[in-house]
Every structure is written in C-alpha cells, then in structure tokens.
Chains A and B, each alone.
Chain A
Amino acid sequence: MTEPILVCCDLIKAYPGAAGSAVSGVNLIVRPGEFVCFVGPSGCGKSTVLRMIGGLETPTSGQVLYKGQPVRGVTPGLSMVFQSAALLPWLSVRDNVAFGLRRRGLPAVECRARADHFIQMVGLPSAADRTPRELSGGMRQRAGIARALAMEPEILLLDEPFSALDPETTHELHAQLLRIWQTTNTTMIMISHLIDEALELADRIIVFEMGRVHTELPVALSRPRDVDAQEFMTLRHQLAGLMHR
C-alpha cells in the first residue's frame, strides 16, 4: 500500500454560537493519484472538510496532514476549483489563469506562457484574451480549472465544480477532467451532490453524514464507465441507499 498523500485526523470544526459542530470527528486518507469524491446531503460537513484540507479554514481540533506535514493555511501543492469558478471579472482568461503564478513572483512573460499551456490543456485556446463576462458557464469553469492546475498542484480540490452547469457541458467537462487526471496523475478530491457524477469519476466515494464519515464506497470499475452496465446500476442503488436514509 502506498503512503497516503493526505490524512485527516479527528477533524472537528465548531462555529462559535452555532449549535453542534459542522464537522465532528472526520478521519480519512487519500492515496497519491486517487480520484476521491465526497458526497452527502447539504450541511453534512463535506465542504467544510474540503476547506480545511485546502487551508481555508483551521480545524477547531484535529489536523490535516499533507505528505506528513500539518496543513496550516494555504499550502503549495494543494489547489482548488470553486463552484462558481470565482474568476476576476476585470482580467482576461489568460491573466486569470496566471494570477497565482504572478503572485508567486514569476515574470509576466513566463506567467503568460505557462497560462497558455494550461488554457490549452482545458480546451480554451480561443478564449484566452476574453473576459469572464464573455464566456459561458462551462468555459468559465474550464478557466477555473486551468488556474488551479497552473499552480502544478499534487492535490486538486474541487468544490461541486459542475453543479451550476447544464448536463451536456458537465458531461464534456467530466471527460476533460478525467483526461487531465490520467495525463497529470494529480490526486483529485471532488465534492459532488450527484450520485451518477461521483460514480462516473471516482475511485472511491466517501459518504458524509452529520459532520462525520458515514461510509466509504470503492468503485473498481474501469473507465470510461457505462451508466447502463449492471455493476454501475448496482453501485448506484447501493449509494442511493446510503445517502437517502
């Protein structure tokens, strides 16, 4: 068994003034190169856990270990894709993708070249000079993915990246994401609220409920996965049962 790249130890997150904890003791590991999906009803804590992994929130107790080291705030090696793409409206796609690189101090010319490489990788070469306002939702999300990838992360965190998109675009982006995953071998941790999406993409699905890990469901089917195959339907049934109790 390979050494896990990420370990969550007894993660607890309680907000002052709120009754109970958002996250009440989460333990999980993620292995390098894995595609993991967090699923669960809204309010189950999956988003909070992802944010703690990314360093955007500090746990009330417990810790996140990335390659053995505790995560304290935003850490190089961990990058994130947001539900709304969260691009800066006054910057072009290229400048948005290069944003993280520029803040690191790389010279502008090199940042642009690197940005172009990742814009190509997500399939957006024609839109590099456009502003987010001129893009469709799917294109914006591609840009958001490019921006996260430009940091050359080892773990890519995705917070319901496709929930605001239509089914056709989502399907395209699934394929794109899987291609990127297979070529770059980046570890993926994605939150999804759709059973089918999790089953199509993940190696392992972690089901959250009420601030804890409820179950883990390994998905050993080969990709691309056939939604109509018997094994897929069995897993879907199983997962639906776990989620809707």
Chain B
Amino acid sequence: MTNNLSPRWHLPHLPHSLPHFGAASRRVRAVALLVALLTLVIVTTLLHTRFQRILPGPGLGISLPELLMYTGYTVARLAVAYVLSLVIALLAALLVTTSKWAETWLMPVFDILQSVPALAFFPVAVLAFAHLGFVEGSALFILLTGMVWSLLFNIVGAIRAIPRDVQDAARMFGARDLKYVRHVLLPAIFPALVTGSMLAVGAGWNIIIVAEYINFGAQPIVLPGLGSLLDRAASGPAHNTTLFVSALISLVLTIILFNRLVWHRLLVRAERYKFE
C-alpha cells in the first residue's frame, strides 16, 4: 500500500502505509501462541520419553469419545466447584463489607487461609470424605479451598471500590439493602467477578490434575477424568506416551477454547460495568 499521507508529512515514497494500532501485535500474538503450544507439547513429550521408567505394561489405547468423556468429567467437577466457590465468596464478601465485626475478625483469618496451599488440605479432606463414602467430595473440597480466595478478594476489592457518591445516590433514590445488592452492587462487581473467576478456574485446573488421582492406602482412589488420565499415562504400570500427549492436548485445547468462548466474551461485556 502506498503512503498517501506523504503530502502533509513530506515522507518519501515508501512501500507500506502506517499500520493501524494493534495490527502487528495481533499477528505476533497468534504466532506466539502457536509456538508456545508446540513448545509445550514437544518439551513435555521429550521429558516424558527421556525420563520414563522402563516398565513392562500394556499400551492403553484411547478413543476420542472416551477422551472427550474424561474431559467432560473434569470440566463438570470444575464447574460444580466453581459455582459453590462463587456462592461462598459472594456471601463472605457481603458479610465482611457490611459488618464491622466480620471485617475486623474474619478478614485476617481469610488472609492467612488463602496463603495455605489448597493441597495442604489434601490428607485431611481425603480421610474425611473417604470415611463418608463420598470420594468426589474430596476433590470438590480441595478445589473449593483453591478457588474461593481469588473470588473473595476480588469481590471485596470491587465492593470497596464503589464510589461513595454512587452509594449515596443509590440510597437517595431508593436502593437500600437487597435492592442495593441487586441493582447496584452485583452489576458493579461484575468486572471483578470475571477476573476473579478467571483466576479461580486457572487455580482449579492446577489442583484438579492432582486431585483426581489420590494415593490413599493400598488402593489408589481414581476419579475418572483428565487429571487421573494424565497421571496414569505419565507413570505407573499402564504408562503410555501417546495417551499422555493426547490427554495433554485435550487439556490445553479445552483451556484455550474456554478462554476464547467464555472469558474473552465476558471481559468485553464487563467493560460497560466499570466505573472510570
């Protein structure tokens, strides 16, 4: 494209016109993403083949429908844990921002608890839930402890960031208590909910990989899903590189898809809700 601004700026004739803002970076980002993906797959496969123990074992073939099913189980676990975390985080945030007592006594507790890695609760949780015969519960509990904090602190931050004028105006025009929560508070925290959810779900992915395959006593507790699949494929008697790589690709693709279809859209929508 020729440079058609040259008359005003007196630029010599040049092959390109000034690219618009963001054009180059979009291409760069796409390439970077591709490179990152390939690197991830190559590196993990290499590491895996290099360091795997040479053990006899039957190869574990897996079909695409089976892979999708396992992915589905994992996503379902994450979804349930997320919804529970969201409800708990919202209630806790409302409590802490409305009651002075709760703010003084509970916030420091939350501060400390959030620094404890979710997996530290692992043994206790597993014991408790195995006892109750509700094994899925252990995974849910651990996911909750990992996910609830990013939601809680983001929500509390956003509630505190609502401008004083807006709070006053809301009261002035009849939005108190529940009406305030519904018509002012919840919309106002929407951007924070999105970012908090992204962090929470990200943490969730980390945790679930480990939470699905639990070495408890003689018999390992295996919850069907992507995490246990990865675990089994990476080590143990049925280890299998193909399986591992397929499971990994499935994981990465799921995350990317979720990112594009859900998070990206929500982030765009959330712009409208931001106070300047």
B224 within 8 A of A: no
On whether the beta carbons of A89 and B272 are closer than 8 Å, the reply is yes
On whether the beta carbons of B187 and A79 are closer than 8 Å, the reply is no
> A87 to B188, alpha carbons, bound, how many Å?
12
B179 within 8 A of A: yes
On whether the beta carbons of A86 and B272 are closer than 8 Å, the reply is no
Residues of A within 8 A of B273 (CB): 89-90
- Select from chain B the residue with minimum beta-carbon distance to A80: B172
Among A79, A85, A90, contact of B172 (Cβ-Cβ < 8 Å): A79
Chain A nearest CB from B179 CB (Å) reads 6
On whether the beta carbons of B171 and A86 are closer than 8 Å, the reply is no
Q: Interface size of A by Cβ–Cβ distance < 8 Å?
A: 24
**A/B pair count, beta carbons within 8 Å:** 58
Chain A nearest CB from B167 CB (Å) reads 9
B53 within 8 A of A: no
Chain B nearest CB from A171 CB (Å) reads 24
A83 within 8 A of B: yes
Known A-B contacts A74-B174, A88-B184, A103-B183; A80 and B169 likewise in contact (beta carbons under 8 Å): yes
A147 within 8 A of B: yes
Chain B nearest CB from A163 CB (Å) reads 13
Taken residue by residue from 175 to 214, chain B's Cβ proximity to chain A (1 for < 8 Å, 0 otherwise) reads as 1100100011001101000000000000000000000000
B274 within 8 A of A: yes
- Select from chain A the residue with minimum beta-carbon distance to B272: A90
B66 within 8 A of A: no
B237 within 8 A of A: no
Chain A nearest CB from B170 CB (Å) reads 8
On whether the beta carbons of B163 and A86 are closer than 8 Å, the reply is yes
- Select from chain B the residue with minimum beta-carbon distance to A75: B172
Taken residue by residue from 90 to 111, chain B's Cβ proximity to chain A (1 for < 8 Å, 0 otherwise) reads as 0000000000000000000000
Chain B nearest CB from A84 CB (Å) reads 5
On whether the beta carbons of A82 and B168 are closer than 8 Å, the reply is yes
On whether the beta carbons of B165 and A82 are closer than 8 Å, the reply is yes
A176 within 8 A of B: no
Chain A nearest CB from B72 CB (Å) reads 34
A35 within 8 A of B: no
> A84 to B164, alpha carbons, bound, how many Å?
10
Known A-B contacts A88-B166, A90-B272; A56 and B187 likewise in contact (beta carbons under 8 Å): no
- Select from chain B the residue with minimum beta-carbon distance to A147: B173
On whether the beta carbons of A86 and B168 are closer than 8 Å, the reply is yes
> A82 to B242, alpha carbons, bound, how many Å?
65
A131 within 8 A of B: yes
> A104 to B183, alpha carbons, bound, how many Å?
13
The CB with the most chain A CB atoms within 10 A, among B168, B272, B273, is that of B168
- Select from chain B the residue with minimum beta-carbon distance to A151: B173
B21 within 8 A of A: no
Among B168, B179, B190, B274, contact of A56 (Cβ-Cβ < 8 Å): B168
A38 within 8 A of B: no
The CB with the most chain A CB atoms within 10 A, among B169, B272, B275, is that of B169
A54 within 8 A of B: yes
Known A-B contacts A103-B174, A103-B175, A104-B174; A86 and B169 likewise in contact (beta carbons under 8 Å): yes
What are 25 pairs between A and B in contact, CB < 8 Å?
Answer: A56-B168, A56-B172, A74-B171, A74-B172, A74-B176, A80-B169, A80-B172, A82-B168, A82-B169, A86-B163, A86-B165, A86-B166, A87-B169, A88-B187, A89-B272, A89-B274, A90-B190, A99-B173, A100-B174, A103-B173, A103-B174, A103-B175, A104-B174, A131-B272, A133-B272
B residues apposed to A, CB below 8 Å: 163, 165-166, 168-169, 171-176, 179, 183-184, 187-188, 190, 272-276
A residues apposed to B, CB below 8 Å: 51, 54, 56, 74, 79-80, 82-90, 99-100, 103-104, 131, 133, 147-148, 151
